[in-house]
Structure 1
Amino acid sequence: KGKIMDGWETRRRRGTGAAEPHPTDEDHDWALVRLGAPGVVRGLIVDTAHFRGNYPQSVSVEATSLPGSPSPEDLLAPDVKWTTLVPRTAVGGHAANGFAVDAEQRFTHLRINQHPDGGIARLRVHGEVAPDPAWLTALGTFDLVALENGGQVEDASDRFYSPATNTIAPGRSRKMDDGWETRRRRDKGNDWIRYRLVEQSEIRAVEIDTAYLKGNAAGWAEISVRDGEDGEPTPLLPRTRLQPDTNHRFVLPEPVRGTHVRIDIFPDGGISRLRLFGSLTEEGAARLAARHEALGG
């Protein structure tokens, strides 16, 4: 209707309640958002980029946690408890309005409200994935470092072209910059990424994918693992030649236990994905279940 907007713009409200201090659902616009993965929210960005004369006066954000795959009707039921993450707050136009969140709970859905109407270009939700341990235990073998399962990138040597977190994103890379590419090194060093697994696990197989990296794939890669924050690193995969635009698969001769993994690439270049397949140890499963319960899961 009219201009093509690369965001969410609502029509102008003309009701008498639009200017009320605390409007009802009928007096302001809102949207229900399912998080990409259940987790703990640490911060939010309500971006009104390019909305200069049509941004909302204020916004608020609420969150809830429901099991399964609830419908919009389930989420809007009167008995659903919503927790306020961002109280009603004035925002600016054409701006990335950031909010810190202090709620040590596991959430699955958000409700973003704009008062009374207007436009929001993007909603960014930053935090930590908090997987359901019952699901991971039922799966048995799964990707221990995947972002959607609670894996994390702790540090990386280079983030010039793209974030290292791309390497544990869902699915295969769809284009070159959907992976991790580093600058060209002119020294004798090499690039690396350090990961934290979902919990203590036994790793049984590895995938290193260089999809869409053809003239800039890493030449070689090696992987080490350590058990605990202060554990000594031990080899997981020796230095191995990589091919461009190829998914490399390695079955380990025996399971390797650990909580942290580091991949070194030589000398530079990139990989698109890293997958580490295995299962939780009894100790890791117990810790994950305890955290899940503490977060209200």
Structure 2
Amino acid sequence: MAERRAAAKTATEPDFLQFNDLACEAVGGKVIFATDEWFAPAANLLKRESPQFIASAFTEFGKWMDGWETRRKRIPGHDWCIIQLGVPGQIYGIDVDTSFFTGNHSPYVSIQAGCLDNTPNFTLEGDRTGMAASESQLAAVAKLGSEAWPELLCVSQLKPGYSDCCHNYCKVNFNHRVTHLRLNMHPDGGIARLRVYGVGQRDWSSVSPQQDVDLVALTNGGVCLGYSDAHFGHPRNMIGLGRAVNMADGWETARRLDRPKHLQVDKRGILQVPGWEWAVFRLGHPGVIGSIEVDTNHFKGNFPDSCKIEVCLLTPEEEAQCIEARWNSGKWQVLLPPQKLWPHHRHLYGAAELTRHSTATHVRLIIAPDGGVSRLRLWGRAAPASAAPANQKTPAMSKL
């Protein structure tokens, strides 16, 4: 079948953007402390939605901004906040987004990382606009010793929030599990969003070999490694928490331009089309998939006509080769043959539909001809370490 060439990636767009946002409020990320939130609360940093600007919007404290903005500092020090990741894991890159902060963005930023055994018993509640940290909050957060956490990002200059320069991308080289971040503004100002791209890490030693788990879930370490098209929504959305909130919370492609002028179907009612779209995921742990859920929730007039799923068992070296070749690998084996899909529906497939029951490390979801899928669940059992290919065995989690 023919495959459409993906749009060229811009030179300024790093590879880590296809990983999961471990800090997003949609996966449970939250701000548990902030020194100052006079103009806009720090919780805005973790919103799923892109920042917006409303010229006429003001509060009693000043201009309303869709981000975190502190007052102009007139005392010693700098502003900072503590973020609890929704999904602990390893971080590969960060986007400090200053959208719309054009005369009031923070000029410099640094980020520190912590791995805490116990979750702090304090948090921030309600609308914090116009507020600052109390003495009791300062005393509680001081016990974390966050000023001594190792740096993910050293003090770095930020660009203002104009559309052509608002994304401040920072690649991270930090081979440790992270549960919390300390975001430092130097000395004050505003930041619209903080995106923390990485891969979740789960302690698989606590998982029974007889326990069925969603092997591709972002909370279990699943991650998207490639796709053909993501015009309306990224494939990583499919491995998010719960059911999709709306269509934007799923994977949706553009309409393929190679569709026949007159559509025909086979005996099963599946469209006969030349093209298809795909997304590849690495499982959080090598395992044997026993059941599958393909959910087209919210996709009522733009669901795919059909889908199929392939699997393979790869070493890290083979994975790197497949990424370079855009996943045109001869190692793919069919797990789920083509299945007719329906709108706004949870499709469940079990042993009767699956054709393989061997260990896999990677999966490829193929949809034809195009459309949207809100969630992909791959239920199965983690394979013992001896069943994983060399160098693909899950490493012990490195703590700080």
Equivalents in 2 of 1:13, 1:106: separation in Å? Answer: 33
The offset of 1:47, in angstroms, is 1.8
In 1, are the aligned partners of 2:359 and 2:387 still within 8 Å (CA)?
Answer: no
C-alpha separation between the residues in 1 aligned to 2:189 and 2:386? 47
Q: Secondary structure at the match of 1:166?
A: helix
Worse-matched range after superposition: 42-51 or 230-239:
230-239
Partner of 1:280: 382
Separation in 2, partners of 1:63, 1:285: 34
User: Which residue identity does 2:295 align to in structure 1?
Assistant: D
Provide closer, same or farther for how the CA distance between residues 262 and 106 of structure 1 changes in structure 2, counting only shifts above 3 A: same
In the alignment, the residues of structure 2 paired with residue 100 and residue 176 of structure 1 have an alpha-carbon distance, to the nearest angstrom, of 30
Q: 2:157 aligns with which of 71, 84, 90?
A: 90
Could you say which residue in structure 1 is the equivalent of 2:71? 11
The answer on 1:197 being equivalent to 2:197 is: no
1:214 to 300, 319, 337: 300
**Would the aligned equivalents of 1:201 and 1:284 in 2 still touch at CA under 8 Å?**
no
Which whole-Å CA distance do the structure 2 matches of 1:155 and 1:267 have between them? 18
Structure 2 residue 361 is the aligned partner of structure 1 residue 259: yes
Moved more, 71-80 or 150-159: 71-80
**SS of residue matched to 1:167:** helix
Aligned residue for 2:5? none
Shift of the 116–139 alpha-carbon distance from structure 1 to 2, 3 Å rule, reads: farther
* Aligned partner of residue 396 in structure 2, secondary structure: helix
Q: Partners of 1:63 and 1:186 in 2: how far apart? A: 46
Q: What is aligned with 2:105?
A: 55
Task: Report the number of matched residues.
Answer: 286
Instruction: Look up the match of 2:128.
Output: none
Q: Is 1:247 equivalent to 2:346 in the alignment?
A: yes
* Matched residue SS, 1:165: helix
Q: How far apart are the structure 1 equivalents of 2:338 and 2:97?
A: 44
CA distance in 2, matches of 1:186, 1:47: 34
The answer to whether the 8 Å contact 2:199/2:222 transfers is no
| Amino acid in the other structure paired with 1:7 | G
Kindly tell me: are residues 107 and 154 of structure 1, through their superposed partners in 2, closer, same or farther at Cα, counting changes over 3 Å?
same
1:91 maps to a residue whose letter is L
Deviation of the 1:197 alpha carbon: 0.7
Structure 2 CA distance for partners of 1:93 and 1:172, relative to 1, 3 Å: same
CA RMSD in angstroms comes to 2.5
One-letter code of the match for 1:109? Answer: H
Deviation of 1:207 (Å): 0.2
Cα distance 1:175–1:282, how it changes in 2: closer, same or farther (>3 A)? same
Percent identity over paired residues? 40
Contact 1:38 1:107 survives alignment (8 Å): yes
Aligned to 2:88: 38
2:307–2:368 Cα contact (<8 Å) kept: yes
Q: 1:206 to 1:56 in 2, by over 3 A?
A: same
Aligned to 1:177: 248
Cα displacement (A) at 1:3: 2.0
Which residue matches 1:21?
none
The 8 Å contact of residues 40 and 105 in structure 1, kept in 2 or not, is answered as yes
Deviation at 1:183, TM superposition (A): 2.0
Return 262-271 or 243-252, whichever deviates more: 262-271
Please identify which structure carries the higher strand content: 1
| SS of equivalent to 1:252 | coil
One-letter code aligned to 2:351: L
How far does residue 235 in structure 1 lie from its aligned partner after superposition?
Answer: 2.4
Aligned-pair distance for 1:74? Answer: 7.0
TM-score in terms of structure 2 length: 0.66
Instruction: Call closer, same or farther: CA 1:101–1:248 in 2, change over 3 Å.
Output: same
What's the CA shift string for 1:104-123, capped at 9, x where partnerless? Answer: 11111000011221111111
Q: 1:271 to 1:79 in 2, by over 3 A?
A: closer
One-letter amino acid of the counterpart of residue 57, structure 1: P
Distance 1:246 1:5, change over 3 A: same
Change (3 A) 1:139 1:101: farther
Contact 1:133/1:285, CA 8 A, preserved across alignment: no
Q: State the SS of the aligned residue for 2:344.
A: coil
| C-alpha distance in 2 between matches for 1:8 and 1:177 | 24
